[in-house]
Structure 1
Amino acid sequence: MPRRTAALLVALALGSAATVGCSSAAAPDRADASSLAPVSSSVPPAASATTAAPTPAATPSPSPSSVSPSSAAPASVTVRGTVTDGLKSPWGLAVLPEGDLLVSERDDARILRVPANGGAKTVAGTVPGVTSGGEGGLLGLALSPDFATDHQVYAYFSTASDNRIVRLDYDPARPAGSQLGAPTVLLSGIPHGPRHNGGRIAFGPDGFLYAGTGDANDRSLAQDRDSLGGKILRLTRDGGAAPDNPFPGSPVWSLGHRNVQGLAWDPQGRLWASEFGQDTWDELNLITPGADYGWPTVEGTAGRPEFADPVAQWHTADASPSGIAYAAGAVWTAALRGARLWRIPLDGDRAAGAPQEFLSGTYGRLRTVVADRDGTLLLVTDNTDGRGEPRPGDDRILRLAVDGG
């Protein structure tokens, strides 16, 4: 049995008071979310929660001798306030060196600049060539590791025929709306479909660009090493296959994924990724170069030596995980259908305890979470994407203070 089968399996009891009333059953080929339990339309300007870990069903407990007490203890989350609101289908988020934010709007193909401490947002520009529809459009954003000198922004977006990664120059000294240069295509041909387009991009501590892709609703692509679909890719800044990738000359870093929309690194440089399941299990995975994560043969923990098992998993009604971030000894996961923020405490490369949930239903669907340099989290809601139930002010970026317990 592989190392990860000792990882935590999270099967939340349907009758638990900690969950929003919903079933683990889903559509035969589930998109990132199909429904959201109605919640109050009143949104508090600030909220806090200290939640004990939910009681898992048939969940093996970590060995007490191997659990870090600080990371396994219940944590707290406090919403400090709203950084901005009135966004339309926000998706990607990047923090500029001076603290301001760039956020992408999926359907309008716009990149907005948001002041770090609130204030009027401005349109940096509209990315040409984007085709929106279904789960496609302007998705993830990332800044060059040398942004302070080269002023380059990377974006992942859909066209009529594929998904692609581009690089744009950004000049805030130019008039609002025309601050983006023409996109340079770095990688094209990532499979595109109405669903499962992946879309998260991020630079790793090694200086290479990582991209999470989806199977574009064609399951066979995830196991096809010659396809860019259903993979995590590792690229140079110019879009080529990074050196030392597990399959020489290929950008593929890992395979067997259904739809990856979350990428984050812990302080030891380990890569974590969120995974949308189909009917049964959503996943948090620790990514190993060249590993196969099993889709479509398996979903969730299988205990088969040829596949890497998840470190944590949820029923699909409780999560539908999109963006993730590392902070305060844990991975934090923004849940779309689950409409809550999950904390997965870590002890090295394993879960240190059961996941904890925060803000359940308070702000609706949650798309992206990013760790800011001051230790706070930036949380992006996504209720205006056609699947949520918008309330006054949606969509918004919230700033959260987190305590690791």
Structure 2
Amino acid sequence: MTTRRDPLPFAVPLGLLAASLVAAVVMAYAGVPVVRVADLPWLVVLTVAMAAVRVVGGRPGSPVRAVVLFWLNLALAAVAVWLSPAFGLYLFIGYYESARFPQPVQRVVGMVGVALVIAIAQVGGPRSVLFIPAVYAAFVAVNLAVTGLMLMLDRRREALFVELGRANDELRAEQQRSASLRDQLVAQAREAGIAEERARLSREIHDTVAQDLVAIIAQLDAASAAPDAAERDRRLGVVDAAAREALAEARRAVKALASPRLDDADLPLALDDLLGEWRAGTGLGGELRVLGRAAASGHDDVLIRVAQEGLANVAKHARARRADVVLEYGPASASLTIEDDGVGFDPTASVTGFGLRGMRERLAAVGGRLDLTSAPGEGARLVASVPLSDPLTKEAP
């Protein structure tokens, strides 16, 4: 266990030395019998010597050098105390300095040495009437008791330092573990996000472009086996139309990835723009209605992609004359409804190519849901709902 006491500034021991010398001079010229005027030159020399030891001892050095200088200073102080008990004022800092020794034995011996010398000053020096063995022994006993108490308190203080250092080391280690765990969680979340995005892109491609490519391959096989040129030309015409449709689907999917419609407009305006382009491209009718007070759901990009997929399905499969879109805001959720007057289908049957599974998974990922109502000959009604996550609202257009 090593001490953590800081060394005293030069001003403290040098000030105490000067005060002790002044007190000795005053006592000598005042006629106090414990100090003689004839000893004052020696006291001046001892004061200068102890100050020089202080200056040398204040420079950086090894612990052994510090211990040697301490004992040299204590020996000079003992002579000064023998000539004038006033130097007991200066000697009190010896308790503090001996407590800085690195080894416990050195601290104990140093404090005991200070106690023995300072007891001489406390009884008034060798010229005092109190300088008798019994009184001196009593003062030594008191000083040793104080020394023991100081050592016990110093030991407790050092134990607290050690415990505090251990706690700090454990805290730093825990912070490092927490940082490492956080980095792992961030990496796992990033990987999970990448995997989810890959799965979503896979669904997009499978439900649109891949289906068209399958149809193109089938038509090319049929064209190669056609019995006459007319049938082959007809098959190739179907291939051309399917290829153009696949290209349009691919472009639409790429545009949907970033939902650029929401960059400069809110969801109602983006839906109105999307529906207008859909009407112009398909020649079908359709109207957008916004019900309730528009609010940012935090999942507008999901709803715009559902609208893109739903309207594309209507144009591709429903054989409808129109498809109406309703965006409705409730207290805690927003819903998007796409209703067409097409041929409809049986939602309980196995239906491929409509992208319904992809839409359901995309909505489920944000806490939403997809409901589908349809029957053969009665059109279809698709409702996608998401929770509202932002309380800030604005008026719907």
Structure number having the greater strand percentage:
1
TM-score category (smaller protein):
under 0.3
TM-score, normalised to structure 1, is: 0.22
Q: 1 or 2, which has the higher helix percentage?
A: 2
Using CA pairs under 8 Å that are at least 6 residues apart, name the structure with larger relative contact order, 1 or 2. Answer: 1
